[in-house]
A and B are shown apart, each in its own frame.
Chain A
Amino acid sequence: MSENEYAITSASLTKRFGRLRALDAVSARVPRGSIYGLMGPNGAGKTTFVRVLLNLINPTSGSAQVLGLDVVRESVAVRRRVGHVAALQPLWDWMTVRDYTDFMAGCYPTWRPEAVSKVLDRIGIDTQAKLGELSRGQRAIVSIAVAIGHEPDLLLLDEALTGLDPIARREILRNVIDAMQAEGRTVLITGQDIADMERICDHVGFLVKGRLVLESTLDDLKARVKRIRIEHPSEPEVQIPGGAIQVERSPRETVFTVEDFSSQLLDSLDGPQRRVAAEDLALEDIFIDLAQSHMEAAR
């Protein structure tokens, strides 16, 4: 695990709030240059994870590194190279857009005003308007503009698309992708809109009740997890592999999901008067199936 390989690493990162374990021994690895989607149900710990990375919260145990820097000991250096957008983050309403960007410009030595104004101009935001007067979507765009304005090596988007109108969502995605053009820039995006995340993520992590139950590249995941449909008009019941989840049996059809798909598996299930097909699952479905099974397993 060299500094150049991963943008974010955590080792058994745990955060407890009283008896509640918001993060439970999370060991994540976010490769450099990737767009990593951290998914999970409500209250899974995604925002907590992001806040620990920024040292807004101190971990109870375990450690984490961002761009090779320890998040606790070198937090100021971390924040200098990281851009952060949080969901519906309240801003200083009394500032104008111009005030806000000027304020941020003064905080970061690597600020590039052209990049910021390009973002704002494209959506047509009046820089003299007060932040409190902007709509939710406009505020989100201002936030993302400011986040990428100082050319961060890592962008943390914590539910940044939640609650926004489609236009604002599109704008944010576009800006994120634009920001990715530079070498080695990484994006960690958390959220609930898995369909959107599926478009741009190449790595995914599933966080359920504070535990990282899955971490993989998207391609790998989609190749591994597939839905198998067996049509068996002449057989009442068919045998299914041991690790099948989300099994649905009907009189002449059996559908289930497998986590370890291979063409051999498909062949093994084939038979005369059977029609066996493997279907790709959308990430959302993968997530739902896996999350549910893991939550049941934890119980």
Chain B
Amino acid sequence: MLDSIDPKASTPIYRQIIHQIRRGVAAGLLAAGDRLPSVRELAARLLVNPNTVARVYRDLERDGLLETRRGQGTFVSSEAEAMAESERCHLIADQLRVVARDVRAFGLSEEAALTLFRDALTDEKPGRKDRR
């Protein structure tokens, strides 16, 4: 987490970083009070524009996920814990929306889609089925 971005992916880098931080919070990898690398450090590590990192931090701070303490750096805010749950839901919901669009486009029935989803839930062992 927060160690690389994919420059060739069409998703903007800004969104990739935001996604990674959100995911980290959602998955519990980033706990409240964890210190994030400074703008410069993160930019140097990821080899991205510091302005981009600065914007990421700014936006996430505006959303309440992060907080800046003067002279000390940027930290995961205490409210992040609370937001974790809603974060998780947001992330899943985003992905489900994409799936839903495909279901509609392919003309699958709702039952068929739900059946597939249930199968997917039970099929979580890695290596059993290739998803792609």
- Given contact pairs A181-B50, A199-B47, A280-B10, enumerate 9 new A-B contacts (beta carbons under 8 Å): A177-B44, A177-B48, A178-B40, A180-B50, A195-B7, A199-B7, A200-B47, A202-B49, A275-B101
| A92 to B: closest C-beta gap in Å | 31
> Is residue B68 within 8 Å, beta carbon to beta carbon, of the partner chain?
no
Number of interface residues of B (CB under 8 A): 23
Check A177/B50 contact, CB under 8 A, given A198-B7, A219-B12. Answer: yes
The number of chain A residues touching the other chain, given as a range, is 20 to 34
CB–CB B10/A219 < 8 A:
no
> Is residue A157 within 8 Å, beta carbon to beta carbon, of the partner chain?
no
Interface flags, A219-232, vs B, CB<8A=1, else 0: 10010000000010
> Is residue A11 within 8 Å, beta carbon to beta carbon, of the partner chain?
no
CB–CB B9/A282 < 8 A:
yes
| B113 to A: closest C-beta gap in Å | 15
> Is residue A174 within 8 Å, beta carbon to beta carbon, of the partner chain?
yes
Contacts of A35 in B (CB 8 A): 49, 51
B residues lining the A interface (CB < 8 Å): 5, 7-14, 40, 43-44, 46-52, 101-102, 104-105
CB–CB A177/B105 < 8 A:
no
| B36 to A: closest C-beta gap in Å | 17
Contacts of B44 in A (CB 8 A): 174, 177-178
| A278 to B: closest C-beta gap in Å | 10
Residue ID in chain B nearest A280 by CB atoms: B10
CB–CB B47/A174 < 8 A:
yes
> Is residue A168 within 8 Å, beta carbon to beta carbon, of the partner chain?
no
From A174, A199, A285, contact of B49 by CB (8 A): A199
8 nearest A-B pairs in the assembled complex, by CB-CB distance: A275-B105, A280-B10, A200-B49, A173-B47, A199-B7, A199-B48, A181-B40, A195-B7
